[in-house]
């Protein structure tokens, strides 16, 4: 028996689909049934049900985007930093292993080989980095699970969302029976406002950057696989191996979906943050070696994106245009 | 047996003195002995010791003042919002009642009678409020425990310190066996950098405002008395009844201590925040009716201040001057 928290959200729904499709014995717990934000209520529920595993897909992302967390600071902190502690303590109290939907958004940039040393490069959009990415893309690597977050309250600037997610990870570091599954920019074939491929098509202008990204269903399957394979507990970057630039993805969208529109880019960070965004955005490359070494199979990023576009299911009444 | 956390801090030391003086059977736990910020370690310790009660005086205040919390955001949140959850869950897990050093700094201003209605007045330094305070001081009341904090992330602007303390209170609301003891601007007769009466003497200029304040030793005794009297768990404003203006306190200092210096005041908020402070300060009046009704004896604010000044123990080498 698996307990799923947060099944009403974008990531939670994907976990629920996977659990259904794979015939798992699971319970999706809503706050109407049990107020699982309350330690005692959650402990009592877990003690009565005795599940083998719990998935926490509940959190606070902000709508329509992370800028909302700059206003809803208390909700962001309670959802992303404090609620994970409730789950952790309840699971430890009852003796249940669990997995937490964490985020790679606590990093900015990537790692560059420099005279044999790993050097952190917090911005992959500088002219020098663009040149390196174009001429020697293999010289750019992702952050590992052992790297310290560099886009957090401890390493400002950061968004309030990223700060709250980093605090959540930090406070779970000593939970011996927790997986921390880092998601990055989810997408799949189903058009929806949270889908990266939908967002790119709806933006007035596109922000060109370099990112690791997670096919949502690949992500959920990989997370569950880690548990099923008995991988050691701890942090895992769960993205499709590799990275993409926004231009590459836009080019794929153009090639496969043949959209009527063309795509403009924000000229630079200044214009983007002046016009479209309130708070700094995380753009980063993550290293998936640990995930792969654990035995989890997951396809590369380009295959995952192309597959999503080739089986694209547009929303029937897609009219709204969102900025960022 | 009582367990005390945070005995190295200003408030924790006062609790320790009280426990010693009153011959209580107590253990002061240091993080070197047990890392009580870790849920399991704290649970194991409490399970082995089985104390009757726990006092949490650990938290993050920022040095030399709350402005430091604007930089050390993660430390403020972990110490004031997240750590109380660790204590709450551990105590609930083992079945131990406890008390938390909370703060009245999550409020701004006071309550004014207005045509028989309680009206929140967030700033008691406006000309109209100064006139009211001078002509009809009994028309100004304090916030009650049932009032919602109005100086928090949910009711900005606030300082990061106040925001983190308000989140701490909020997340403990459903702990059925916790006291939340609100302290405000502690002082006693012992000169030290955290003592309000010392701060006023050391400031280059003084900021005139209206506040409820807590004699530190009165506070600790009142907190313990609440538990000993079997008062219902929950929030209590633990200040000396009444309120004072900074000018009144400065006048008392002048009258009793006969300092060589004179006191200048910041002309207004603008000057204070431009020159001396980075983040908004809480200034507020708290209502102590609930504390008094519970049977706790505590002297009025003027008596507590005068007594501290009349038995004043100056630090031998007081030279430093702090701003704000």
User: In chain A, what are the domains?
Assistant: 2-310 (3.40.50.720)
Write down the pLDDT at residue A219. 98
Residues in chain A closer than 8 A to B171 (CB atoms): 78, 82
Task: Say how far apart CA B40 and CA A270 lie, in whole Å.
Answer: 47
Write down the pLDDT at residue B128. 92
Residues in chain A closer than 8 A to B92 (CB atoms): 39-40, 43
Write down the pLDDT at residue A220. 98
Q: What stretches in chain A show pLDDT beneath 70?
A: 317-324
Residues in chain B closer than 8 A to A154 (CB atoms): 74
To the nearest whole Å, the CA of B237 is away from the closest chain A CA by 23
Q: Helix A83-94 and helix A39-49: axis angle, to 10°?
A: 40
Write down the pLDDT at residue B321. 46
- A-interface mutation test, from B37, B62, B89, B161, most A Cβ less than 10 A away: B89
Global pTM value: 0.93
Residues in chain B closer than 8 A to A81 (CB atoms): 77, 81-82
Write down the pLDDT at residue A320. 47
pLDDT in tens, B198-218: 999 988 788 889 999 999 999
Do the Cβ atoms of B43 and A93 come within 8 Å?
Answer: yes
Do the Cβ atoms of B92 and A167 come within 8 Å?
Answer: no
* Residue B69 scores a pLDDT above 80: yes
Q: Beta partners for B55?
A: B4, B99
Do the Cβ atoms of B77 and A77 come within 8 Å?
Answer: yes
Angle (CA) B276-B282-B283 rounded to 5° is: 100
Task: Say how far apart CA A174 and CA A154 lie, in whole Å.
Answer: 18
Q: Beta partners for A272?
A: none
Do the Cβ atoms of A86 and B89 come within 8 Å?
Answer: yes
Residues in chain A closer than 8 A to B153 (CB atoms): 73-74, 77
Write down the pLDDT at residue B170. 97
pLDDT in tens, A277-304: 778 889 999 999 999 999 999 999 999 9
Distances (CA, A) of A126 to A3, A116, A199, A250, B190: 45, 21, 24, 20, 57
- B-interface mutation test, from A38, A39, A156, most B Cβ less than 10 A away: A39
Task: Say how far apart CA B107 and CA B193 lie, in whole Å.
Answer: 23
Write down the pLDDT at residue A249. 96
Among A179, A212, A214, A215, which residue's Cα sits nearest to residue A294?
A179
Q: Which of residues 22-81 of A touch B (CB under 8 A)?
A: 38-40, 43, 73-74, 77-78, 81
Do the Cβ atoms of B92 and A170 come within 8 Å?
Answer: no
Strand A110-114, strand A117-121: pairing: antiparallel
Do the Cβ atoms of A170 and B74 come within 8 Å?
Answer: yes
**pLDDT, mean of residues B254-282:** 82
Collect all residues with Cβ–Cβ distance below 8 Å to A124 and sequence separation of at least 6: A109, A110, A130, A133, A140, A209, A210, A283, A285
By CA distance, what is A95's nearest residue in B? Answer: B40
| Tokens 């799923």, located at residue | A4
Q: Which of residues 172-231 of A touch B (CB under 8 A)?
A: 174, 176
Task: Say how far apart CA B84 and CA B243 lie, in whole Å.
Answer: 29
Under 8 Å between Cβ of B290 and B237: yes
CB pairs under 8 A between A and B: 77
Do the Cβ atoms of A92 and B40 come within 8 Å?
Answer: yes
pLDDT band at residue B318 under the 50/70/90 scheme: low
- A-interface mutation test, from B91, B106, B171, B177, most A Cβ less than 10 A away: B171
Task: Say how far apart CA A155 and CA B119 lie, in whole Å.
Answer: 42
Task: Say how far apart CA A243 and CA B160 lie, in whole Å.
Answer: 36
Helix, strand or coil, per DSSP, at residue B219 = helix
B271-275 contacts at long range (C-beta below 8 A, 24 or more positions apart): B272/B207, B272/B324, B275/B323
To the nearest whole Å, the CA of A234 is away from the closest chain B CA by 16
pLDDT band at residue B317 under the 50/70/90 scheme: low
CB-based contact, A93 to chain B, within 8 Å:
yes
DSSP string, B93-140: HHT-EEEEEEEGGG--BEEEEETTEEEEES-TTSHHHHHHHHH-GGGE
Distances (CA, A) of B262 to A122, A312, B95, B277, B305: 52, 76, 54, 22, 19
Residues in chain B closer than 8 A to A90 (CB atoms): 89
- B-interface mutation test, from A43, A72, A74, A172, most B Cβ less than 10 A away: A74
Do the Cβ atoms of A93 and B88 come within 8 Å?
Answer: no
Of A38, A171, A174, Cβ closest to residue B78: A171
Do the Cβ atoms of B92 and A39 come within 8 Å?
Answer: yes
Write down the pLDDT at residue B277. 74
Distances (CA, A) of A316 to A190, A196, A199, A319, B67: 11, 18, 16, 9, 52
B110-116 contacts at long range (C-beta below 8 A, 24 or more positions apart): B110/B140, B110/B141, B110/B142, B110/B143, B110/B210, B110/B243, B110/B284, B110/B285, B111/B140, B111/B141, B111/B142, B111/B143, B111/B144, B111/B147, B111/B285, B111/B287, B112/B139, B112/B140, B112/B141, B113/B139, B113/B141
Task: Say how far apart CA A181 and CA A28 lie, in whole Å.
Answer: 19
CB-based contact, A155 to chain B, within 8 Å:
no
Do the Cβ atoms of B78 and A154 come within 8 Å?
Answer: no
pLDDT in tens, B227-266: 999 999 999 999 999 999 999 999 999 999 998 888 888 8
Classify the C-alpha dihedral A162-A163-A164-A168 as positive or negative. positive
Q: What is the pLDDT of chain A when averaged over all its residues?
A: 93
Task: Say how far apart CA A234 and CA A169 lie, in whole Å.
Answer: 10
Under 8 Å between Cβ of A309 and A240: no
Sheet holding A140-141, edge to edge: A117-121, A110-114, A140-141
Task: Say how far apart CA B226 and CA B297 lie, in whole Å.
Answer: 10
Residue A101 CA from chain centroid, whole number: 8
Q: What is the pLDDT of chain B when averaged over all its residues?
A: 93
Classify the C-alpha dihedral B23-B100-B202-B299 as positive or negative. negative
Do the Cβ atoms of A85 and B82 come within 8 Å?
Answer: yes
Classify the C-alpha dihedral B135-B138-B142-B147 as positive or negative. negative
To the nearest whole Å, the CA of A37 is away from the closest chain B CA by 9
Of B82, B89, B152, Cβ closest to residue A171: B82
């Amino acid at each position: 028996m698996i307990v799923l928290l947060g099944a009403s959200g974008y990531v939670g729904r994907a976990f629920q689909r996977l659990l259904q499709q794979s015939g798992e014995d699971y319970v999706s717990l809503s706050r109407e049934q049990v107020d699982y934000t309350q330690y005692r209520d959650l402990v009592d529920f877990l003690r009565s049900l005795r599940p083998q595993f719990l998935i926490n897909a509940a959190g606070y992302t902000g709508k329509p985007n992370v800028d909302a967390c700059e206003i809803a600071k208390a909700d962001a902190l309670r959802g992303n930093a404090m609620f994970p502690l409730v789950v952790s303590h309840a699971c430890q109290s009852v003796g249940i292993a669990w997995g937490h939907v964490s985020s790679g958004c606590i990093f900015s940039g990537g790692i560059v080989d420099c005279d044999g040393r790993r050097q952190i490069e917090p911005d992959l959009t500088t002219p020098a980095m663009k040149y390196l990415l174009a001429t020697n893309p293999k010289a750019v690597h992702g952050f590992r699970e052992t790297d310290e977050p560099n886009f957090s309250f401890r390493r400002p600037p950061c968004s309030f969302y990223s700060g709250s997610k980093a605090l959540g990870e930090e406070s779970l570091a000593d939970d011996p029976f927790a997986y921390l599954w880092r998601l990055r920019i989810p997408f799949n074939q189903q058009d929806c406002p949270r889908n990266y491929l939908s967002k790119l098509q709806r933006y007035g202008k596109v922000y060109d950057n370099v990112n690791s990204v997670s096919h949502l269903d690949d992500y959920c399957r990989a997370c569950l696989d880690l548990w099923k394979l008995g991988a050691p507990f701890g942090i895992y970057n769960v993205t499709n191996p590799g990275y993409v630039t926004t231009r590459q993805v836009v080019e794929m969208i153009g090639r496969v979906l043949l959209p009527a529109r063309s795509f403009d880019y924000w000229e630079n960070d200044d214009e983007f943050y002046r016009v479209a965004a309130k708070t700094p955005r995380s753009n980063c490359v993550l290293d998936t070696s640990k995930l792969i070494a654990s035995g989890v199979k997951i396809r590369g990023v380009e295959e995952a994106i192309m597959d999503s576009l080739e089986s694209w299911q547009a929303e029937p009444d897609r009219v709204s245009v969102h900025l960022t």
